[in-house]
Amino acid sequence: MTAMSNSRSLVFIALPGLVTCLFWSSAAFAYPQFQEFVEKRSHQPVNCAMCHANGNGPDGHQAGQIGSLSAEELKRLEEARAALEKGNDIKSPVLNEFGNEIVRSLGRKKVISLIKEPEKLYDELPADSDLDEDGVPDREEFLDGTDPTNKYHAAPIKLFLINLNRNKMHVILAAVAIFSINFGLVHMIRGISLLAEKKN
């Protein structure tokens, strides 16, 4: 009787750990095909932080990885995994804002269907989505291998042209001011020269 109750106690102690391990292994979903595609296209290193909360991906015990999640965060993770169709307001704790936006916009079923053709993710993402409001659409940042959640991280030429366009009035006014100052200085120097010549 004692041996049986001890074995039952052991099962009850071990069961939650076993369930948790199974949950973690089934809950971990990372799709390196997208990362590999972006690295090849952009010719720069891209880590999991493009879509995940942790740069090393969802597996592990660090912040933003499955092993560090609380019970509430595990519940949110399961809800995100169940979001097969688009339009669900999910907030997966192992995804960053861009990763969650992808699942919200497309649904996990569509994302999984694009694994073999990761280049098509560009066409599927909303053209007007710009999470960091830097002027470069998220889907372009995906192709460029830049961070769609950081307004200071985008292709330099694109950022320059966007900021030039946004601030064109300031640029024009600054150019007019510089021209006016230079024009005034040139004429002032000429005037001083003429006065000096007259005195001589």
First to last CA, the chain: 125
Q: What pTM was estimated for this model as a whole?
A: 0.69
pLDDT digits (tens, 9 = 90+) for 134-168: 999 999 999 999 999 999 988 889 888 887 877 77
pLDDT digits (tens, 9 = 90+) for 131-141: 999 999 999 99
Percent over 90 (pLDDT), the chain = 54
Average pLDDT, the chain: 83
Please say whether the beta carbons of 132 and 158 come within 8 A: no
Q: In this model, does residue 12 exceed pLDDT 90?
A: no
Give 60: exposed, middle or buried? Use CB within 10 Å, 0-12, 13-18, 19+.
middle
Percent over 70 (pLDDT), the chain = 84
Identify the pLDDT of residue 82.
93
